Structure 1
Amino acid sequence: MLILAVDTALNACSVAILRSGEVLLSRVEPMTKGQAERLAPMTREVLAEAGVEPAALDRIAVTRGPGAFTGLRIGLAFARGLAVALDRPCVGISTLEVLAHGASALRTVAAIEVAGSLFVGAWEGRACRLEPCRQRAEDVLARLDGDWTLTGPGAQTLARLRPDWPMAAQDLPDPVVLAQLAQHLDPHLNPPAPLYLRGHEAKLPGGISLEVDSL
C-alpha cells in the first residue's frame, strides 16, 4: 500500500510517503503560519523526489485535530480535495493518537496546549484508554492508574504534577507515524472530519468575541 500523509495541525507543515511500511520520504518544516501556501508545493516536491506519481497513491492520511483551528482546516481541505481528485480513500487520525504512538512507549498520555486549553488522550498499545478530550490536568491524572509516559507539546503541564512519570520529548506529530497508523484503519470508520474539542472564536461587530462550538 502506498500512502501519502500530511499534517498541518500544529506549528509545522509535514508530508511523508510510505510504501508497504517502508519510508520513501518524509519532510517536516516548522512554521507558525504559511501552511496554506506551502503544503501543495511540498507535497509535489516530496512525490517527485520519491519518484511517485499521484495516481499511484492508494490512500491519503491526515491529522484531524485537536490543533490550531486554521491549520486543521488547511490540512483537512487539502487531503480531502486530493482524495476526491484521485478517487482514493482518506483517513483522518487524531493528532493526539499520532503523538502517543510516536513516543514508542507502552502506555502514553499525549497532551497539546492550545490557547490556554489542555487537550489530552491516552493509549496503551493500540487501545485507547482515554478518548481525546479537553480537561484540566488534575482531572486527567485522576482518571489514570499506574505509570504513564508523557508526550506532546502540552506534556510539561502534566509533568509538573507527575514529575515521576517519564517524558518523551515530542512537539510535533510525525507524518511517518501518521502514515503507519493509517495503513491499519478503515477509512469509513475514520473519516477526515475535524476534531476541534473546543469552540473557535468568531468576531462580532464592536469587537465582541463569541466562542462557537464546532463539535
Structure 2
Amino acid sequence: MTFANILAFDTSGPHCATALLQGDCVHGARVVEMKRGQAEALMPLLEETLAGRDLGWSDLDALAVGIGPGNFTGIRISVSAARGLALALGIPAVGVSNFEIMAHGNTARTLLVSLPAPREQVYLQLFRDGRPAGKPRLAALSDLPPDLGISSGTTVTGHLAKEIAAQTGGIAMPAALEDIPGRIARIARNRLEEHGAPTERPAPLYVRTADAAPPSDPPPVILP
C-alpha cells in the first residue's frame, strides 16, 4: 500500500504542531506556541493544513501523532484526536515518541536521547543504529541509572547533554526538539512502509521511575 498523504500533529508540549507529508515533501508545517487551548486549536489547524494542499479528510492515507513524553493533558488531546480520526476515516494512525523525533537522522552508532522532565529530572532512552535499545527511563541528573548501557563512545543528545556526558563518559551533542511535525510524519511513513499498518492504536507515553507506585485513581478515558 502507498501512503501518499500523511497528516502529522502533536500537542505534547506548549504548542500545537501540524504538517502534511506528500511523497518526500513536507507541506504546511506549523508549530503554534500555546500553553493552553490545544484542544480548541487542533482541528482548525489540521483543516487549514489540508486546505493548503486542496485536500479533504478522505484524501488521507494515514495519520501520525506525537505520543510524548511531555504534558499529560496535551498528549491525551492529540492521541484521542488521532484515534477518533483513524476510526472515522478507516486509516492507520502511528504514534511517534519525542525520543524517536530527537534520534531521527542522527548517525551515531549508540545514542542516548535526553528530554526535560518535571522536578529537575530527565527522560532517557538509548538507541543503537537508529532503533530503540531499551525502555524509556526517568531519572535525576544527580542519580543516573548505572545500567543505561552507555560506553565511552556513546553520543548523548538533547536536554543537559553536556552534563550527562560528563558523568557517563559519553560524547555530548547538544540539540533541541525541532521540526516536530515533519519528523513525526517521516518516521511514521518509514514505519508504515517497513511494517505495514500497526495492529495497535497509538497510546500516550508516560515514563515513571522504576520504583514508582501505580496511581490510586483510574486514568482518564480516551477514545478506543
Structure 2 vs 1, CA of residues 164 and 118 (structure 1 numbering), >3 Å: closer, same or farther? closer
The answer (yes or no) to whether the contact 1:149–1:168 under 8 Å persists in 2 is no
AA of the residue aligned to 1:166 = A
| Secondary structure at 1:166 match in 2 | strand
Structure 2 vs 1, CA of residues 213 and 146 (structure 1 numbering), >3 Å: closer, same or farther? farther
Percent identity, aligned pairs only?
A: 32
In the alignment, is residue 60 of structure 1 matched against residue 63 of structure 2? yes
How far, CA to CA, are the matches of 1:172 and 1:153 in structure 2? 13
1:56 CA drift (Å): 0.7
Higher mean Cα deviation, 45-54 or 156-165? 156-165
AA of the residue aligned to 1:15 = T
Structure 2 vs 1, CA of residues 6 and 132 (structure 1 numbering), >3 Å: closer, same or farther? same
State the TM-score, normalized to the length of structure 2: 0.78
1:158 CA drift (Å): 2.2
How far, CA to CA, are the matches of 1:136 and 1:81 in structure 2? 36
The equivalent residue for 2:129 is 125
How far, CA to CA, are the matches of 2:187 and 2:36 in structure 1? 26
| Secondary structure at 2:145 match in 1 | helix
Q: Deviations over 1:18-43 (max 9, x none)?
A: 11222122111222222112111111
How large is the RMSD of aligned CA atoms in angstroms? Answer: 2.7
How far, CA to CA, are the matches of 1:59 and 1:180 in structure 2? 12
1:59-138 residue pairs with structure 2 within 5 A?
A: 59-101=62-104, 104-106=106-108, 107-116=110-119, 117-137=121-141, 138=144
Higher mean Cα deviation, 157-166 or 51-60? 157-166
AA of the residue aligned to 1:182 = A
The answer (yes or no) to whether the contact 2:162–2:174 under 8 Å persists in 1 is no
How far, CA to CA, are the matches of 2:216 and 2:102 in structure 1? 27
The answer (yes or no) to whether the contact 1:152–1:172 under 8 Å persists in 2 is no
Larger strand share, 1 or 2: 1
The answer (yes or no) to whether the contact 2:154–2:171 under 8 Å persists in 1 is yes
1:142 CA drift (Å): 5.0
The equivalent residue for 1:203 is none
The equivalent residue for 1:5 is 8
In the alignment, is residue 151 of structure 1 matched against residue 157 of structure 2? yes
In the alignment, is residue 180 of structure 1 matched against residue 169 of structure 2? no
Unmatched segments (≥5 aa) in structure 1: 200-209
How far, CA to CA, are the matches of 1:154 and 1:18 in structure 2? 31
Structure 2 vs 1, CA of residues 140 and 81 (structure 1 numbering), >3 Å: closer, same or farther? farther
1:176-215 residue pairs with structure 2 within 5 A?
A: 176-185=182-191, 186-188=196-198, 191-198=201-208
AA of the residue aligned to 2:203 = A
How far, CA to CA, are the matches of 1:13 and 1:98 in structure 2? 16
The answer (yes or no) to whether the contact 1:54–1:86 under 8 Å persists in 2 is yes
